[in-house]
Chains A and B, each alone.
Chain A
Amino acid sequence: MSKPIIIGISDLNIALPPDVLITYALGSCVGICLYDKAVKVAGLAHVMLPLSSEAKDISNLMKFADTATLELIKRMEKAGASRRRLVAKLAGGAQMFALQEGNEALNIGKRNVIAAKKILKSLNIKIIAEDTGLNYGRTIELSPETGVLKVKAIAHGIKEI
Chain B
Amino acid sequence: MTENYDNLNDLQIDVLKEIGNIGAGNAATTLSMMLSKKVDMSVPQVRIIDIQEIANILGGPENQVVGILFTLSKDIEGMMMFILKQEFAHLVVNQLMGRDLESFNDFEEMDLSALKEIGNIMAASYVNAISSLTNFGIGISVPGIAIDMAGAILSVPAIQFGKIGDKVLFIEEEFIGGDGENVNSYLILIPEIDSLHKILKILGVEL
| Chain A residues proximal to chain B, CB less than 8 Å | 8-10, 24-29, 48-49, 54-57, 63, 94, 96-100, 103, 105-106, 108, 135-139, 154
Is there contact, CB below 8 Å, between A27 and B156? yes
Asked whether A25 and B156 contact (CB < 8 A) given A56-B164, A63-B162, A97-B146, the answer is no
Q: How far is the CA of A96 from the CA of B149 in the complex (A)?
A: 10
Asked whether any CB of chain A lies closer than 8 Å to the CB of B43, the reply is no
Give chain B's interface residues, CB within 8 Å of chain A: 3-4, 52, 55, 60-62, 64, 67, 69, 71, 141-146, 148-156, 158-160, 162-165
Q: Would you call the interface of chain B mostly helix, strand, loop, or mixed?
A: mixed
Contact partner of B146 among A9, A54, A106, A135, CB < 8 A?
A135
Flag if B69 contacts A97 (CB, 8 Å).
yes
Q: Is the CB of B155 within 8 A of A28?
A: yes
Rounded to whole angstroms, the CA-CA distance of A105 and B190 in the bound complex is 15
Q: Is the CB of A98 within 8 A of B52?
A: no
Name the one of A27, A57, A96 contacting B163, with C-beta atoms under 8 angstroms: A57
Q: How far is the CA of A135 from the CA of B155 in the complex (A)?
A: 12
Q: Decide: A137 near B144, CB < 8 A? Known: A25-B55, A108-B159.
A: no
Give A141 Cβ to nearest chain B Cβ, in Å.
12
Residue from B64, B71, B154, B156 within 8 A of A154 (CB atoms): B64
CA distance A9 to B144 in the complex (A): 23
